């Protein structure tokens, strides 16, 4: 029966040395029920949407049945968590295998919350409905925003409670990724694996993610450089929409350059580089303004794990790795500046652009301006009615910006089109996400999530239907906090 669904599994990760995983079947649950299914993603994966909603499809999403061709396992990896290095691994996730799509693409299919594994570290291996729906909403919003990300195929409720501070309804998320290879996977190999196992992992990563560098003179140095490029581009995209990951540990940094792990993440309202939402980030290590620097720090840890492959002489390996890492700040800045120019309708480059951008951000911070709505207002030409737009500082900045726009060949209409395509009208506002989760978890009402997902699927539409989703939450003396979900 599972063949009708369209699963076409390969299990290349399972062909790596056994040190990188433990074979692990999901633990069955009692009363699985489909909560939400990503139909468009299912179709792109080559899956039968109708069959996925049937008994066999739900059983697979719940971990009650292993589809034909799958080889379930839990991956081993390590990581620097808030700067402290430790052994980790999939403590509440099972990789079913890799789906080969009709286009020949390869995607990991992972269950999140299907029970304990050897890496659970005292945890129950389960997940609550709220955090799994949260990952579904945010990851799909990120995809629509054009930001590389893991995606969510489905969420099922388990009919069983999970115990956190209270009893919560249990759920399992099916996550789709280009791969789940992490910086922490390489740290694990370099610390606890043999030189041969580290090489096998690096060769696998190159073949799977960067086949174009297989023939390079030094493919392992090329791997480092490619991952640096991907992460510089990714983190700049986070900054351009005000996304705060919340837990940028090295085990949450992918080799593919995808955003992964939507635990205590959130989107910034008022522009402030010091913004932190995560309840566990008491020191602000992963604050919005720190994300680019933390990306560089994590990449340095990746470089360290590759040293013995980069060159047999350690000093030479360190020099080559340092030279590669030294390129990261400029790569990040180039991506960010390019993105900010687009947000302001600028096609060409002038040396004063960085100062123009900084001046706007400084005024936004002074007046507590909403990040997304400020750029939306500039895009649609409605800059009135707020402290920011009524200030003399903004008026001065606006004159300089208009003058700058006039020094390029492109028309005003072309600039407006560029801004519409670069400035989202809507993001997953924290209060909107919380309202959708409350409706689903507390009342079993999924219509709020469905409407929110529909609006978020076209963030650059700038249509009237999005208007109500641009409004800010009511002022509160209680700061918004997010939690990791474990």
| Catalytic (active-site) positions | 251
Phi and psi at 75, nearest 5°, equal -85, 145
* CB-CB contact of 427 with 376 (8 Å): no
Q: How far apart are CA 366 and CA 344, in angstroms?
A: 20
Q: Which two tokens stand for residue 327?
A: 């390129």
Q: Which residues touch 269 (CB under 8 Å, ≥6 apart)?
A: 242, 370, 371, 372, 429, 430, 472, 473
Q: How far apart are CA 235 and CA 238, in angstroms?
A: 5
* CB-CB contact of 5 with 56 (8 Å): yes
* CB-CB contact of 39 with 49 (8 Å): yes
**Helix 195-209 / helix 183-192 crossing angle, nearest 10 deg:** 160
**Helix 412-422 / helix 371-380 crossing angle, nearest 10 deg:** 150
- Radius of gyration of the chain from Cα atoms? 23
Q: How far apart are CA 156 and CA 158, in angstroms?
A: 6
């Amino acid at each position: 029966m599972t063949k009708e669904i369209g699963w076409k599994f390969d299990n290349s990760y399972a062909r790596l040395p056994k040190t990188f995983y433990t074979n692990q079947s999901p633990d069955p649950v009692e009363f699985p029920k489909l909560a939400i299914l990503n139909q468009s993603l299912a179709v792109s994966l080559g899956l039968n949407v109708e069959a996925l909603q049937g008994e066999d499809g739900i059983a697979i999403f719940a971990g009650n049945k292993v589809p034909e061709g799958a080889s379930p396992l839990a991956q081993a990896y390590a990581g620097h968590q808030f700067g402290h290095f430790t052994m980790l691994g999939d403590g509440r996730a099972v990789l079913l295998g890799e789906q080969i799509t009709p286009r020949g693409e390869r995607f990991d299919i992972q269950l999140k919350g299907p029970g304990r594994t050897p890496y659970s570290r005292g945890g129950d291996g389960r997940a609550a409905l709220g955090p799994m729906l949260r990952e579904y909403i945010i990851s799909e919003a990120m995809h629509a925003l054009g930001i590389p990300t893991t995606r969510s195929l489905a969420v099922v409720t388990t009919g069983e409670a999970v115990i956190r501070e209270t009893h919560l309804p249990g759920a399992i998320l099916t996550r789709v990724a280009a791969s789940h290879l992490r910086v922490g996977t390489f740290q694990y190999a370099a610390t606890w694996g043999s030189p041969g196992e580290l090489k096998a992992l690096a060769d696998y990563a190159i073949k799977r993610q960067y086949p174009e560098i297989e023939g390079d003179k030094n493919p392992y140095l090329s791997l480092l450089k490619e991952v640096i490029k991907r992460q510089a581009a990714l983190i700049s995209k986070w900054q351009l929409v005000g996304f705060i990951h919340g837990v940028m540990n090295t085990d949450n940094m992918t080799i593919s350059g995808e955003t992964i792990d939507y635990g205590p993440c959130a989107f910034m309202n008022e522009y402030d580089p010091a913004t932190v939402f995560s309840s566990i980030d008491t020191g602000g290590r992963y604050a919005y303004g720190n994300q680019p620097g933390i990306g560089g720090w994590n990449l340095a840890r990746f470089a360290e794990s590759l040293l013995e492959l980069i060159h047999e002489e350690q000093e030479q390996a360190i020099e080559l790795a340092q030279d590669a890492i030294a390129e990261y700040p400029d790569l990040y800045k180039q991506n960010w500046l390019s993105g900010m120019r687009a947000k302001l309708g600028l096609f060409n480059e002038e040396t004063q652009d960085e100062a123009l951008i900084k001046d706007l951000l400084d005024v936004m911070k002074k007046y507590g301006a909403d990040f997304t709505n400020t750029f939306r207002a500039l895009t649609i030409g409605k800059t009135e009615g707020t402290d920011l737009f009524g200030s003399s500082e903004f008026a001065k900045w606006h004159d300089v910006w208009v003058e700058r726009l006039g020094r390029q060949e492109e028309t005003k209409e072309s600039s407006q089109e560029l801004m519409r395509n670069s400035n989202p009208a809507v993001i997953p506002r924290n209060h909107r996400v919380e309202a959708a989760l409350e409706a689903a978890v507390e009342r079993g009402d999924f219509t709020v999530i469905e409407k929110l997902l529909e609006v978020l699927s076209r963030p650059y539409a700038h249509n009237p239907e999005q208007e109500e989703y641009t409004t800010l939450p009511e002022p509160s003396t209680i700061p918004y906090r997010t939690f990791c979900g474990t």
